[in-house]
Chain A
Amino acid sequence: MRYAEAGYNLEVDLSTGNIERVETDPKLMETHLGGQGVNAKIIWDRVKPDTKPFSEDNLLIFGAGLLHATPVVGCNRTSVNTINPMTGIFGHSCMGGHFGPELKHAGYDRIIIRGRAPKLVYLYIHNERVEIRDASHLAGKGPGETTSLVREELNEPFAQVACIGLAGENKVLTASVEHGYSSASRGPGPIMGDKRLKAIVVRGTKDINIAHPQELFELCLRMKKWINDSNGCGDWMAVDEDDSFHHNNFAWGYSRTRIKNYWSEELQDRWTHWKYDNMDRQAGCYNCPKGCINVISWPGTKRFGYKCYGKDTYHMAAFKELDYTYGMLGQCLDWGVDSYSTPQAISLGIELYDSGVLTDQDIPNFPTDPGERVKFLLEKIVHREGIGDILANGSWWASRMIPGAESFEHNTVKKMEQLPIKLGKLNPAYYLMIATGEKMAITQIEGSFPQDPIRDPVKRKEFVDNWDAAPYQKFKDMFMNWEKRDQISIEDTCALTDWNEAMHYIDDSTGLCGFVSSFRGQFGGQVAYSFNNVPELITLATGMEMDKEGLWEICRRNRDLVRCINNRLGMRRVDDDPPKDHWAVRDPELEEKLLDAYYDFRGWTKDAVPTKAELHRVGLDYVADELIQLGILDPNEGTPAQEAAKAEEQKSGGC
C-alpha cells in the first residue's frame, strides 16, 4: 500500500486530447519526496533544453506536496512548475489554498500538462472522471466568475478551481494562476495561457492512507493549537499595522526613491481604519489556523484578498497611499497579474517616458498623475495593447526591446524583477542568496537564520536557548558569536545560506507553507516546522525512515537537480549576480570569494555547475552523464578549491 501518496500522476495532452492515469514509481518519494522535487525530476527527464517555453513540448506541472491530505497542519502549497518564459529557466512557483490536498483526494499526486488546446478549454477532474471541456464562455473572465460558473455548470460546489484571468490568456509574462485568494506567479500564468487552458477544476473524494495514522493525527491536533497560539507562525503583517519597514526602507517608483521617514503614527492610524473598516475577515488556507489573507471589500471594486507586502507594491510604484492599492487589487486579481513584477514593469515605463526614451507617439494620451499612469499602463499590459505589448514581457525584456532603454533597467536577477531593496553596505549572506538563488524572489530563499544579530548578549543568549528550530549546535554558536551584520565568516555565510535554502526545499517538496516553516523562523525563531520535527512527520505519514541528515540529503539532491536543469538551459556563474545597485558599496573581491566558497560548499565547479563527484554523491549520475555529453560539465573538473589545490600540486610537482 502507498502511504501519504496517491500513487498516480494524471497526464494530459491538450494537443491530442489524450488523458492517462499513470502509476508512479514509489522510489521517487525516497529520492525527491514530492511537490517540486518530483516535478523537477520530470522536467529534467522530459523537457529537452531546446524546448521553447511557449511550445507544446514545455510541461506545466501542478504538483501536490508529499504531506498534502495528511493531518499535517499548514501543509497546502501546491508547486506549479514549468520553464518560465520570462527567465528561460526552471520556474519556481507555488500557491496556498486547497488545491493540492483536493488533487490527492481525487487520486493524483500531480497533473502533468503538455501540448496546446486548439481553443480555450478547461480541465475537469472528479476522481477517475477526467474531461477536457470547452471554455469559450469563460474567455476574459476573472477567477471569481470563472470559479462560480464552472462549479455551477458541473454541479460541484466543493470543487477547487485554479484558473487564469485575461492577463494569462494574453500570455502576459507577469500573469499568475489564481486559486481563491492564493496565486502562483513566476511562470505558470502565461504558460497556462499559451496552452489555452483556462482553468483546472478538481474534486476528490478518495482516502489517502497514512502509515501511523493515530500518532500523526494526535500530534497534528496538538500542533494546530500551538500554531494557532504562536506568534512565531503566520504573517505578522496581518495583525501588526506598523508597516514602516517596507515604506521607510524599500524603494518607491521604479525602485529608485527611498523615503526614509515616510511612516508616521497619523498615517498608520488612517491606514488601519481603511483596512479594518473594509475588511470582511482574515482567511486562511487548508488545515491552517492562521488568517494571513486579508479579505477586503473596497467600495467600487470587486472583493479581494491579499497577503503580506502585496498591499504595498502598487501605491509604492505610484507614490500614493494604501487606499490607492486597495482601489486596484480587485481589478488586479480579476485580471490575474502578479503584484511583484507588474508594478515594476509599469514604473519602468513611466521612467522611460519621463526620460524621453518613450514619447507621446509611443504612449498616446498618457495621463500626468502617477496613479492614473499606473492604471493606464496596467490596462495596456493586460490587453497587450501598444506599449503594453512590450511591457507585458517584464522590465528586463522590455528594456531590451525599446531602443535606448537597456541602461535604465536595474532591478532584475536572471531576467526577473526583484524586491525593490536598495541598501548601503554589502551583506554577505544576502549577496550569496540573491546571487545564487534561482527561485527569483528572496522570500523563497531566505528565512531560517535571523537577518540581524541581537546586540544585547543577554537577549541573544535567551534567543539561542529557546531556539528549537536550529538543526545543529553550530548555528547556535554562530549566532552567539555574531555581533555585526556584515561581519560573519565566509564559511558561516555558506552554512547559513545552505540551511535557509534547504528549509525551502523541504517546503516545496512536502507542501508546507513558508509562514509556518522556511520563511518565518528568521523572525523570532519560534516556528512550527524545522529539521528537528519534519523527519518525524514524514516517517509517520509515509512509513519511510527519515532523519535530519537524510532529509538534508534530499534537499541537496533537489537543489542540485534544479541547478542542473538551469545549467542545461544555459545558466552559469555570470548569471549568479545581484542587481548592480542593490548595495551602494560593493566589494568585488569579497564577492568572488563568496561565490567560490559557496560553490566549494555545494560541490559545484567554478562555473556554477555541480561536479561529477557531487552528482554521484547525491545519486544523480544520469544527470552528470548528460551534462558531460552536452559539453556543459568537464568530468575532471572539481570545485574551485579542488582546482586550486590541483594547480598548487602541479606547481610543486616534478621535483
Chain B
Amino acid sequence: MGEKVKKIVKTIRVDLDKCNGCRGCEIACSAYHATPKYSAMNPSRSRIRVVMDQFNDEYVPIRATDYAKAGCDGRRIYTIKGKQYSECSFCGTICPTREMFFDPDSGLPLQCDLCADEKEPLCTQACPQGCLTYVEMEVEEEDKEEVKMDEMELGMKALLDKFGVQKVADTFNRIAQKG
C-alpha cells in the first residue's frame, strides 16, 4: 500500500452555456503544439475540438483523452435541458471510429497534455468568454507509480485498436523487411 500524498490535479472546467463557437481554443492548441512552436495553426491538429452544430445549438468543446475499448459507453444521444445532443458529442476519447484527434497527415493520435510546460493551458487563455477555465485542485491520494505512455506507445495503441493486432504486426514485418 502506498502512502497518502497531496497532489495538485490540473483540469479544465467547461461551462457549455458560455461557448460562442469561436474555436479559438482549437487555434491556440494547434499553434502551441506545432513544431516549431506557433509556426502554424490548424484546428484539425488541435487536442481540443468543438463539436458544433449551430442549427441544433450544440457547442461542446472536448479534449482528447485516452481511449480504452472497455471505456466506451456507446454512442448515446443525450437530452439536456430539452435539447438533444448527437451521439458521441460529449466523448473526448481518441476513438478509432472517428477522424477527430488523429493528426490529419501522420494519422497519429493527438492527446491533450494540459500544456504541461505552461503556467496556464493555451486553450483556456484563448477563451476569455469563460467557457473554459483552468483549475488546480489539491487532492490527497495514494502514491502509486503512474505509468505514462509516451507518444509512440500511444500511437501503437491507437493503431492496434483501429486495425487489430494481426494487421499491425503484418504491416510492421513487411516494413521491417524492406528497411
Binding site for B on A (CB under 8 A): 69-71, 73, 98, 105, 143-144, 147-148, 157-158, 180-181, 204-210, 213-214, 216-217, 221, 224-225, 228-229, 280-291, 295, 297, 302-303, 305
A281-B20, A281-B57, A289-B129 are contacts. A207–B40 as well, Cβ < 8 Å? yes
Binding site for A on B (CB under 8 A): 17, 19-24, 27-28, 31, 34, 36-45, 49, 51, 53-57, 59, 98-100, 104-105, 125-126, 128-129
B55 touching A69 by the CB < 8 A rule?
A: no
A229 touching B128 by the CB < 8 A rule?
A: yes
The 22 sampled A-B contact pairs (Cβ below 8 Å) are A69-B41, A98-B23, A105-B44, A144-B55, A157-B98, A158-B100, A180-B54, A204-B44, A206-B42, A207-B34, A207-B41, A208-B40, A209-B39, A210-B41, A217-B31, A217-B38, A281-B19, A281-B57, A283-B21, A283-B54, A286-B22, A289-B24
What residues of chain B lie closer than 8 Å to A147, measured between beta carbons?
A: 55
What residues of chain B lie closer than 8 Å to A208, measured between beta carbons?
A: 40-42
A105-B42, A158-B44, A291-B20 are contacts. A221–B57 as well, Cβ < 8 Å? no
Nearest residue (CB) in B for A217 is: B38
What residues of chain A lie closer than 8 Å to B27, measured between beta carbons?
A: 71, 287
Q: Please provide the 9 A-B residue pairs with the shortest distance between their CB atoms, ordered closest to farther.
A: A205-B104, A207-B40, A228-B128, A144-B55, A205-B44, A284-B20, A213-B38, A280-B57, A214-B38
Total contacts A to B, CB within 8 angstroms?
A: 109
- Max count, chain B CB within 10 A of own CB: residue among A98, A143, A157: A157
- How close is A77's CB to chain B, nearest CB, in angstroms? 15
A214 touching B23 by the CB < 8 A rule?
A: no
| Complex Cα spacing A73 to B53, Å | 22
| Complex Cα spacing A208 to B27, Å | 12
Residue from B20, B28, B51 in contact with A283 in the complex, judged by beta carbons closer than 8 Å? B20
A221 touching B28 by the CB < 8 A rule?
A: yes
Nearest residue (CB) in A for B129 is: A289
- How close is B69's CB to chain A, nearest CB, in angstroms? 21
- How close is B43's CB to chain A, nearest CB, in angstroms? 7
A210 touching B126 by the CB < 8 A rule?
A: no
Residue from A105, A143, A281 in contact with B43 in the complex, judged by beta carbons closer than 8 Å? A105
- How close is A645's CB to chain B, nearest CB, in angstroms? 54
B22 touching A288 by the CB < 8 A rule?
A: yes
A148-B53, A221-B28, A228-B129 are contacts. A207–B20 as well, Cβ < 8 Å? no
What residues of chain A lie closer than 8 Å to B34, measured between beta carbons?
A: 207, 213
A210 touching B43 by the CB < 8 A rule?
A: no
| Complex Cα spacing A216 to B40, Å | 11
What residues of chain B lie closer than 8 Å to A148, measured between beta carbons?
A: 53, 55-56
- Max count, chain A CB within 10 A of own CB: residue among B20, B28, B44: B20
A213 touching B39 by the CB < 8 A rule?
A: yes
Q: A291-B20, A297-B57, A305-B54 are in contact. List 4 more A-B contacts (CB 8 A).
A: A105-B44, A209-B40, A224-B24, A288-B20
A282 touching B40 by the CB < 8 A rule?
A: no
